């Protein structure tokens, strides 16, 4: 059957190698390329695919990435076991990260001996970006872009897992806007959303980069203050937040004078689990709000439920 016959295996193979949007490649036992698809040659900047013959991954991708993939190829050929659907990433400088999905299978001769490898690699950057976007939506507040309750709780549990009771101090700050309902009623919810975004920015810029600022719903924000030197440091941070929030700002040509109430719980004084620490900080915030605007209070040791020994400022 002539090679140009569309039913011939040679014609079909050449059509596949010239027109597929995947990178298809064959390698010998030394991990050197024997043949590559047109798409792979174009991606690597080669006009003539034959120029790639004899090159290995170190030649093409550098020592670090190349050595890793060559070791992987040798393992496949030595064991005879394929790799199916391997997700990989490679930094492309200013172009960012390139995500790929790769399948590699050993090539065998008529006697069953492994003589090389066939690989098929597909770029999945759009799919990966969609996945990352969905992950971000699942773990971040869509309005402010801050971690949501789910991610905050996860980070809090991670923080707890690293600290032994009594040896390390950290704190939670429960922040709530005073009279936020009045802001929404007088200016509308769109204006209220802008206020929430502004407060999120203020909180992030007031605490350390290692701390976590989250919005857990409505006008409620929770801050995880990592590794405090002293218990009193949580109050110093709360004071700093009150001063930052008290500075007037403008939204849509309207001057805003914002006030917040802050409740503080300290690990391990107020508990060694996430739920109790959150409950204690929430309770302290509730009491602070009941005593006026722009106040913070620290929950006493033990379960929240009493105002005895509360410490705070106005």
pLDDT, one tens digit per residue, over 109-165 is 999 999 999 999 999 988 888 888 888 889 999 999 999 999 999 999 999 988 765
pLDDT at 65: 85
Residue 102 has pLDDT above 90, yes or no: yes
Catalytic residue among 219, 269, 273, 282: 219
Mean pLDDT, rounded, for 36-42: 94
Residue 2 has pLDDT above 80, yes or no: no
**Residues of the chain above pLDDT 90, percent:** 67
pLDDT at 3: 57
Across the chain, mean pLDDT equals: 89
The model's confidence at residue 166, banded by pLDDT at 50, 70 and 90, is low
Least confident of 33-42, 103-112, 147-156, 293-302: 293-302
Q: Is the peptide bond before 195 cis (omega within 30 degrees of 0)?
A: no
- Asked if 219 is an active-site residue, the reply is yes
Token couple for 205: 């810029």
pLDDT at 310: 46
DSSP string over 2-66: -TTSTTSHHHHHHHHHHH-SSEEEEEETTS-EEEE-HHHHHHTT-SSGGGGTT--HHHHH-HHHH
Q: What would the CATH number be for the domain defined by 9-130? A: 3.30.450.20
Residue 40 has pLDDT above 70, yes or no: yes
Pairing assessment for the beta strands 254-256 and 260-267 based on DSSP bridges: unpaired
Other beta carbons within 10 angstroms of residue 111's beta carbon come to 6
Q: Which CATH class is domain 141-313?
A: alpha beta
90 with 61: CB under 8 angstroms?
A: yes
Could you tell me the residue ranges of all domains in the chain? Answer: 9-130, 141-313
pLDDT per residue over 183-234, tens digit each? 988 899 999 999 999 999 999 999 999 999 999 999 999 999 998 888 899 9
Report the distance separating Cα 168 and Cα 186, nearest Å: 45
């Amino acid at each position: 059957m002539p090679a140009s016959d569309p039913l011939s295996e040679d014609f079909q193979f050449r059509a596949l190698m010239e027109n597929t949007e995947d990178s298809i490649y064959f390698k010998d036992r030394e991990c050197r390329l024997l043949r590559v698809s047109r798409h792979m040659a174009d991606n690597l900047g080669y006009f003539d695919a034959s120029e790639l013959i004899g090159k290995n991954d170190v030649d093409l991708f550098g020592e670090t990435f190349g050595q890793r993939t060559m070791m992987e190829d040798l393992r496949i050929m030595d064991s005879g076991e394929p790799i199916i659907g391997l997700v990989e990433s490679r930094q492309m400088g200013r172009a960012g990260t390139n995500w790929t999905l790769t399948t590699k299978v050993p090539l065998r001769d008529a006697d069953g001996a492994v003589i090389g490898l066939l690989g098929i690699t597909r770029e999945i950057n759009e799919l990966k970006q969609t996945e990352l976007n969905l992950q971000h939506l699942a773990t971040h507040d869509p309005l402010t872009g801050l971690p949501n309750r789910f991610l905050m709780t996860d980070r809090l549990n991670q923080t707890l897992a690293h600290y032994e009771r009594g040896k390390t101090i950290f704190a939670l700050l429960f922040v709530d806007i005073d009279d936020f309902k009045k802001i929404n009623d007088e200016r509308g919810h769109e204006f209220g959303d802008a206020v929430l975004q502004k407060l999120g920015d203020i909180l992030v810029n007031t605490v350390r980069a290692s701390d976590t600022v989250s919005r857990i719903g409505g006008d409620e924000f929770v801050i995880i203050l990592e590794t405090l030197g002293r218990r009193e440091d949580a109050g110093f941070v709360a004071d700093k937040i009150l001063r930052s929030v008290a500075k007037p700002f403008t939204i849509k040509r309207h001057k805003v004078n914002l006030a917040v109430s802050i409740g503080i719980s300290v690990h391990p004084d107020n508990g060694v689990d996430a739920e109790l620490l959150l409950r204690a900080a929430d309770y302290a915030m509730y009491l602070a709000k009941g005593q006026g605007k722009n106040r913070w209070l620290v929950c006493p040791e033990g379960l929240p439920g009493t105002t005895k020994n509360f410490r705070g400022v106005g």
